[in-house]
Every structure is written in C-alpha cells, then in structure tokens.
Amino acid sequence: SSDVHSQNSSNPPRMGYACQACTKRKVKCDKAAPTCSSCRKSKLSCGYEPPRPRTRKRKPSEDVLERLARYERILCEHGLLDPEAALTAAAEGPAREPITLLWDEPEGSKAGKLLPSEGDSGYLYLNGKLWQDLEEHQIQGVPDGDEEEGEEEKAEDEAAPARSEVGFGFPSDPVSVALAGGPRLNLAPYHPTHEEVMLLWATYAERVEPLCRILHVPSTGAMVERVSRDPSAASKSEECLLFAIYHFALFAMTEEDALSKLGQSRAALLRRYHFATRQALANASFLKTAKLPVLQALVMFLLASRSSFDAHTYWALTGVAVRIAQRIGLHRDGEKFGLPPFEVEMRRRLFYHLMPLDAKAGQMAGMGVTTLPTTWETWDTRLPLNVNDDQIGPGMTKAPAEQQGPTDMMVCLSRFRLGNAIVEQAMMSQKGGGGGGGGGGSRPSPGRFDNADDAEQAVNRAESEMEEKHIRYCDVIDPLHYLTVCMARCGIAAMRLRIRLPRTASPQATEADVREAFQLALKILDTNAAVCTHDGLKKYRWHAESFFLWGTWDSFIFVLSNVFLKRRRMFSDQEADTVWDRIEVMSRYHGDLPRPKPALFAALGRLALQAWEARPSTKATTAEPDFITALR
C-alpha cells in the first residue's frame, strides 16, 4: 500500500482543460501540468489557456419579456397604459410558469444541454436544475465518465489477493463483477472475528440506523450474533447483508475509531469491505434475485459508496437497484397483496430509501428524475408506520397502531413525509384537472405545479402537516430531534426557494424578489452550518458530510452567483462576508467541495473561484481559504 501511495502522490497535477496544442490537433490530452504526455512525446510546446466564457444564450421568453417591458414603458410614458397594470403583468410572468419542487424536472419535460466531452469527439448530456442554473463556461470542460475516478478506483491495493483468486482484471462495481461471469469467490477470509463483528454491528445500530432505518434492528441483531460465530453457516443473502453492515459501519466511523478499535486505518478497512460486499452481491446473483435482504444490502452499499464511483456509474447502479425493486414489486404496497405485516413494513422502508437515492444520483449525474411515480395506478407504496422496532417483528399477524410523537422512525419518516406530501398534492392537482404541469398532452410530472401560487399553497399544506405530525413533538435538546427539525424546516425553505428562483432569473426581477430568495438561501446555509457544527451530532457527521441538507446546492449557486457576480451592487460588504462565512463552513465539513471531481463539483468549484476573485476590493488582503487554493 505504501508503493501505491507514493505512486499516487508523485502524479503530476492536472489542469481542468486540454492544452492548446492538443486542442488544435484534436487529440486526447491528459491535462498533466506543466507538460502533457502527448506534447512530451511529440516534442511540442505545451501551453494551457482557460477556455473563453461562452455567452449564455437567452431564452426566447427572456427576449419577449424584455421587449414587452420596453413597450409597456413607452405606452406608460404616453398615457396609454396604467403603470400598475404594467407592473402586475411583468411580475406575474414567471409566476404563471410551471414550478417543480422535488429534485429536478423529469427527463423529457424540457430540453437539456449537450456539451462536447473534453478531449475527445463524444458528448455529455446534462438535464438537471442544478446544471441549468450554472453558466455554460462553468460547465465547459468538466470531466466525463472516462476521466472521473472514484476513490475505489484510485487505490485498490487491499484487493490484490482477490485479483489473483478471481483470475481476471478487478472490476470496480458489482454489475461489472456480475457481467464478468468469473467464479464465485469464497469470502471466508474476509469475515472479521466475532468480537469485531459485534463492535461493527453496535456502530451501525448507533450511528446509521437512526438516520437510515432500512433494517429491523432486533431480528437483524439476532442474525448477526448467530452467523458471526459461524460465518460458513450464512446463506448468500445473509452474507450480503453482513458485509453491507460492516462496510456501512466503517463508513460511519472516524479514522480514530477505526485505529483504536480495529487496529487498521479506516481507508484500508473500507476498501476491504467494499470489495467483499460487491463480491457477496455477485455471489448471490443479485441481478436476478427476488430476495429482499439482497436488495437491502445493495441499497446500503450504495448509500455508503457515493464517493467510490463516478457520478454516471453511480446513477447507473442506483438505476439497477430501482429495476430490481420494480421486479419484486416494491413500488406496489404489499398490504394490497396480502403480504405479512412485517414484510409489508420492511418493503415500505426500503422503497422510501431507494427512490430519493436514485433521484439524487440522477441530479449529481446531470439528469432529471426518471423514476418517481407519475400515476397512482402504478406506484402506490404507502409510508412506513410511525412505530418503534420493538413493536414489529417476524411472525406478527397484525400491524401495530401508529404512535403519536417520536419513535425510532422519526428522522426517516419526517424526510419521507415531506417529499411524499408534495408528490401527493401534485398528483391530486393533475387528477382534479389542474394538470400539475402535465396538461396539454405532456405526461404528468410528480411534484410539479402549474404556477407559483399552486406550489406555494402545496408547501404551506406540507409545512402544516410536518408541524402537526413531527415538529410539535420534538425536543431540540435531543440531537436527533434537533436534526429532525432542521431537516424538515430546511426542506420547506428549499421548496419555497425553488418557487422563487424562476422569478429571480427573469429580467423583470425586482430587488424584493431577489432579497426574498436570498433570505431563504441564507436560512438553508445557516441550517446546514448548524447541523455540521452541532456537538451532539458528531456521531452522525458521516451523514452531514456526505448528504447535504435539501436545497443546499441551490442556495450555494444562488448566493455566489447573485451576491458576488450578477447583482453585486444589491448587497452590502457585510452581507457578502456573511455568505462567504457559510461557504467556508461548507468547505470544512463537506469534503466534496474542494474536489475537482465529480463533474458537478468541478463546475461548482469554478463558480466558487469566480466568486472569490470577484469579492469586494476591501477584502483583497484576506488570506485565501484552503479550499480555494485546492480548487486552483
């Protein structure tokens, strides 16, 4: 492993764009600085110049609105139009457009962007709200799937024994393992000792389950206790689940915990159990299984592996999980099919973890949501019950009565309920003839409303439901209760921000419009900072670092674009300082921000660099933040 480390540390720095010589010759450039390998071999002068910012193409609606505003001013000057009527018409333009509140627009509902892939003749298609909020010169030259590397692809020294046993090149994802068709690998050497297993299980139950309640802790704990004493007695599905638990527990650990409790570095153990989990999935023939524990293991593996794969591979993997879920009917409520109450409940829990995961993966890959329900006839899985784990169990014949107030499901259920409330109201709007953005022959869109007024009413109703069923019962002294309140209120603020973003993008946007959106974005960034710095949430910091609160990236893009670039004169130096403080907190607690990959973070990094360089001149002597230096 020391050789691998020294090799990685000696790699030359890479630029974010191809050199001039390779660009002119239309050949692949490895972007090594100061001289790329292609120019070195050809003995050419190698020079890097940043690509020119492309002029953003104006939307036809922007041209029309600008001409309309000009004509209205002329008519008002000549007394031919009431000024108040003119202002009302201009203000209502964006407000009458369809509004989407959940993640990104579904694929097919609007045109995306087709950009040339850096250094070759391919193209990269992007269709997502976050990407469309970025300027084209910030996206230009982002790494494509061939150039992006996950952490697992950079260092695989722990898997060297596995390579020799399997006998072919080491695949970097479970689908490749399955497609390669090699012999099943005996994973007995990869099982930890009984004592280590119980430590990992305790870590998982304490740090992961409260936030991702996919398993039933009492029955799973009994299985872990039994199988850890004799791993050879484990079934293939049990082995999948065991390794997924080990892997997720290590993901939730700190480096200090791993060294003190397990005697090895966190990174080395993660690589070991990452390999073992994906091999266990292949051993269980996960692509054709109908067993719920195998799909549980796959979803748990994906939740803890976002940084291990490039964004496009990860989105493909979550799509595989969705297809498996559809094959076993996870999208249909098990109660309608007479399934046992315990199985019904576990299927619901898994469904409501998988769908947002796939939606988020699509967003990070630059795509819209493709798997949310469009009709109640095809997707009808109900929310899990608000109960504690000790109220349910295998063999139960009747579902327990739901509790009023906090339960083991509190954090998860509040997150599920907020998204589900918006989907339900949008679907009801379509069913009632409102269209929900699906009228005029286009397909229905979950979470989409005809206009800002309808969307605002839906958010108000969702907020009331959250207050009534969750927030009112929370005691913010308890860290998990505090996190529940933060996530719920941040989600509400994020949806309200999404309603206002189209208005701020309009040429007719007033200062009041922009400031209203700014206050919402600042509230989201403040909440994100509060969660990251809360001492009582340290053991859940893996979640805060890897899974941003709802609306964080929308807020990041909005404040940097408007406070430092587009509308600098509208904001004071003090407001600019406040914004930058929140951005620095993000950089400290979210390790993704300084990374040049995946592609979305590369684009966001360029935006952050532009904002830093455009900061007020009075702050020119301020020391450059570490994450800005890392982004250069």
Predicted pLDDT at 72:
64
164: confidence class by pLDDT, cuts 50, 70, 90: very low
Predicted pLDDT at 125:
47
Predicted pLDDT at 348:
96
Predicted pLDDT at 64:
59
Instruction: Report helix, strand and coil shares of the chain as percent, to nearest 5.
Output: 60, 0, 35
Non-local CB neighbours of 334 within 8 Å, separated by 6+ positions:
343, 344, 347, 348
Strand partners, 124: 115
SS3 for 97?
coil
177 & 301 share domain: yes
Continuous segment of H or E residues that includes residue 307: none
45 & 85 share domain: no
The region of weakest confidence among 90-99, 184-193, 449-458 is 90-99
CB-count exposure of residue 326 (10 Å: 0-12, 13-18, 19+): middle
Number of domains forming the structure of the chain: 4
Q: What is the mean pLDDT of residues 558-573?
A: 85
| Rama region for 79: left / alpha / beta (φ>0; ψ in -120 to 50; rest) | left
74 & 20 share domain: no
The region of weakest confidence among 125-139, 562-576, 594-608 is 125-139
165 & 300 share domain: yes
> Is 534 inside a domain boundary?
yes
Q: Does the pLDDT value for residue 286 go beyond 50? A: yes
Predicted pLDDT at 510:
86
Q: Which two tokens stand for residue 341?
A: 């109450």
Predicted pLDDT at 24:
84
Percent of the chain with pLDDT over 70: 68
SS3 for 100?
strand
Q: Does the pLDDT value for residue 447 go beyond 50? A: yes
Q: Which two tokens stand for residue 237?
A: 């599905």
Q: Which of 24, 257, 190 is nearest to 119 (CA)?
A: 24
Domain extent at residue 501:
474-632
Read off the pTM: 0.76
CATH assignment of the domain containing 35 = 4.10.240.10
Mean pLDDT of the chain: 78
> Is 133 inside a domain boundary?
no
> Is 446 inside a domain boundary?
no
> Is 179 inside a domain boundary?
yes
90 & 208 share domain: no
Non-local CB neighbours of 423 within 8 Å, separated by 6+ positions:
102, 372, 373, 446, 447
> Is 391 inside a domain boundary?
no
501 & 588 share domain: yes
> Is 348 inside a domain boundary?
no
81 & 222 share domain: no
Tens-place pLDDT, residues 476-492: 999 999 999 999 999 99
Burial readout 262-301 (b: 16 or more C-beta within 10 A, e: otherwise): beeebebbbbbbbbbbbbbbbbbebbebebbbbbbbbbbb
629 & 487 share domain: yes
Q: What is the mean pLDDT of residues 301-306?
A: 93
Predicted pLDDT at 28:
84
Q: Which two tokens stand for residue 424?
A: 């339900």
Neighbours of 128 (CB within 10 A): 23
Predicted pLDDT at 597:
57
Of 270, 292, 308, the one marking the end of a domain is 308
625 & 486 share domain: yes
Q: Does the pLDDT value for residue 316 go beyond 70? A: yes
> Is 625 inside a domain boundary?
yes
> Is 377 inside a domain boundary?
no
165: confidence class by pLDDT, cuts 50, 70, 90: very low
Tens-place pLDDT, residues 501-552: 888 887 778 889 999 999 999 999 999 889 988 999 999 988 877 666 778 8
189 & 302 share domain: yes
25 & 68 share domain: no
245: confidence class by pLDDT, cuts 50, 70, 90: very high
Q: What is the mean pLDDT of residues 224-253?
A: 96
Residue 471 and residue 492: Cα distance in Å, rounded? Answer: 12
Q: Identify which of 93-102, 323-332, 582-591 has the greatest average pLDDT.
A: 323-332
Tens-place pLDDT, residues 173-209: 666 666 555 567 899 999 999 999 999 999 999 999 9
Non-local CB neighbours of 390 within 8 Å, separated by 6+ positions:
218
561 & 626 share domain: yes
Percent of the chain with pLDDT over 90: 37
